[in-house]
């Protein structure tokens, strides 16, 4: 069938595929980094010492892997073309074993793997180091579908600072993260994976276990992250961000977070506070609100208005979004484990709740 086959059909399939790939690549860049062309979730652009350690290992292993790939694929192509059936009916030369070649292609890969093992094992040990003495210790619980961050303080656990989805850290200091695979309030065990690409590699949650990892950032800035292990319907809506501050600014942020919410409320805001105090504190903690029992089933709302986004860092903290969220959370985030209040509260009551939430600075 060699004769009548149009020669350019191969080109015609490949050109659109390659161009399409390039176009899609560009589109991803734009979606992630806006006009600047930066990739805020680029694991190959480390922004701290832990990520750099891992990147250095990649810089060694990747070129070796590319070399082996090109060599092996090249040899396959060579064999396919060189020894193809030429249509003249002669069988290929029959070969049975070649001790020298077999020894060679056993020893060379073994040496390559042994070579790669040296920096790999060294890096693994460095990553497993105990926390630095001045490390900031944060417990991170992966929930369905949001992140809870608890900053341990030496005193009473009641003084711990608890936030959701936005992890604030000081620059130049190690942050030692305890990934808790069991939600202590609900006892629900679900697998997640904690991943801030520019600050460190992934760490998977293991139900019932506490795993640890370290992250650190050199410069102030925001470093987006994402749950990287399928955990249910809204897995893709389980984002987060690390906000790195200068140490002095971080101390200020921390001191403020440790304070209860401002209690000066009147008018519509007082009405909102009352509704929250009745309807919402069964799941949400709002330190400073009288009826708040400090439960941690749902995100701590004590300083909610200071968070730029909510619901797994997917929605901007605007009045419209909040109104829509309280009316029907599942509509914005499928599978979200918060009940809809669109039927039990009037639109005016929800406005009051939103007005109150926006005072929680």
The reply on whether position 299 binds ligand HEC by CB under 6 A is: yes
The reply on whether position 165 binds ligand HEC by CB under 6 A is: yes
The reply on whether position 353 binds ligand HEC by CB under 6 A is: yes
Q: Determine which residue in the list 138, 169, 199, 311 makes contact with ligand HEC, applying CB under 6 A.
A: 311
User: What does 227 interact with, of ligand HEC, Cu ion, none (CB < 5 to 8 A by kind)?
Assistant: Cu ion
Q: Which long-range contacts (CB under 8 A, 24 or more apart) does 60-68 make?
A: 60/116, 60/119, 61/116, 61/119, 61/120, 64/112, 64/115, 64/116, 68/112
Beta bridge partners of 149: 140, 163
Relative to beta strand 239-245, strand 166-170 is: parallel
Name the maximum alpha-carbon separation found in the chain.
96
Q: Determine which residue in the list 145, 151, 176, 205 makes contact with ligand HEC, applying CB under 6 A.
A: 145
> Considering only 83-91, 108-116, 149-157, 295-303, which stretch makes contact with ligand HEC by CB under 6 A?
295-303
CA–CA distance, 186 with 282 (Å, rounded to integer): 13
If the CB atoms of residues 196 and 336 are measured against ligand HEC, the closer one turns out to be: 336
Site for Cu ion in 210-239 (CB under 5 A): 227, 231, 238
> Considering only 49-57, 77-85, 223-231, 281-289, which stretch makes contact with ligand HEC by CB under 6 A?
281-289
Instruction: Kindly state the smallest distance separating residue 231's Cβ from Cu ion, in Å.
Output: 3
The reply on whether position 338 binds ligand HEC by CB under 6 A is: yes
Site for Cu ion in 189-208 (CB under 5 A): 192
Q: Determine which residue in the list 282, 318, 334, 361 makes contact with ligand HEC, applying CB under 6 A.
A: 282
* Sign, Cα dihedral of 129, 134, 139, 145: negative
Instruction: Kindly state the smallest distance separating residue 213's Cβ from Cu ion, in Å.
Output: 16
Angle (CA) 307-352-287 rounded to 5° is 50
| DSSP string across 290-343 | TT-----SS---TTGGG-SEETTTTEE--HHHHHHHHH-HHHHSTT-SS---TT
User: What residues contact residue 359 under an 8 Å CB cut-off, 6+ apart?
Assistant: 261, 262, 265, 269, 305
> Considering only 16-24, 34-42, 223-231, 302-310, which stretch makes contact with ligand HEC by CB under 6 A?
302-310
CA–CA distance, 333 with 54 (Å, rounded to integer): 34
Interaction site with ligand HEC (CB under 6 A)? 145-146, 164-165, 276, 279-280, 282-284, 297-299, 304, 307, 310-312, 326, 333, 336-339, 341, 353, 357
Binding residues for Cu ion, per CB under 5 A?
192, 227, 231, 238
């Amino acid at each position: 069938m060699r004769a009548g086959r149009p020669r350019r059909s191969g080109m015609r399939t490949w050109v659109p595929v390659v161009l399409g790939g390039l176009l899609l690549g560009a589109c991803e860049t734009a979606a992630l980094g806006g006009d600047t062309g930066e990739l805020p979730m680029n694991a190959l652009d480390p922004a701290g010492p832990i990520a750099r350690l891992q990147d250095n290992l990649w810089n060694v292993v990747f070129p070796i892997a590319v070399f082996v790939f090109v060599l092996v694929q090249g040899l396959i192509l060579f064999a396919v073309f060189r020894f193809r059936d030429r249509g003249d009916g002669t069988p290929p030369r029959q070969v049975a074993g070649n001790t020298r070649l077999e020894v060679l292609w056993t020893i060379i890969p073994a040496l390559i793997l042994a070579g790669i093992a040296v920096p790999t094992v060294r890096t693994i040990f460095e990553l497993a180091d105990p926390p630095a003495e001045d490390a900031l210790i944060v417990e991170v619980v992966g929930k369905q579908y949001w992140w809870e961050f608890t900053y341990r303080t030496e005193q009473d656990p009641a003084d711990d600072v608890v936030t959701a989805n936005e992890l604030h850290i000081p620059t130049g200091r190690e942050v030692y993260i305890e990934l808790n695979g069991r939600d202590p309030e609900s006892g629900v065990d679900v697998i997640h994976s904690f991943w801030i690409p520019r600050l460190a590699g992934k760490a998977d949650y293991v139900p019932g276990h506490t795993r640890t990892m370290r992250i650190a950032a050199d410069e102030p800035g925001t470093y987006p992250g994402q749950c990287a292990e399928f955990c249910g319907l809204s897995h893709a809506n389980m984002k987060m961000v690390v906000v790195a501050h200068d140490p002095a600014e971080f101390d200020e942020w921390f001191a403020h977070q440790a304070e209860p919410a401002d209690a000066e409320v009147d008018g519509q805001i007082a009405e909102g506070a009352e509704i929250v105090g009745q309807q919402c504190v069964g799941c949400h903690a709002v330190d400073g609100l009288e009826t708040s029992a400090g439960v941690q089933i749902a995100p701590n709302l004590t300083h909610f208005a200071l968070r730029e986004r909510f619901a797994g860092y997917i929605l901007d903290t605007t009045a419209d979004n909040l109104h829509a969220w309280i009316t029907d959370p599942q509509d914005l985030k499928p599978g979200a484990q918060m009940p809809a209040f669109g039927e039990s509260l009037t639109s005016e009551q929800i406005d009051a709740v939103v007005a109150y939430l926006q005072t929680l600075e």
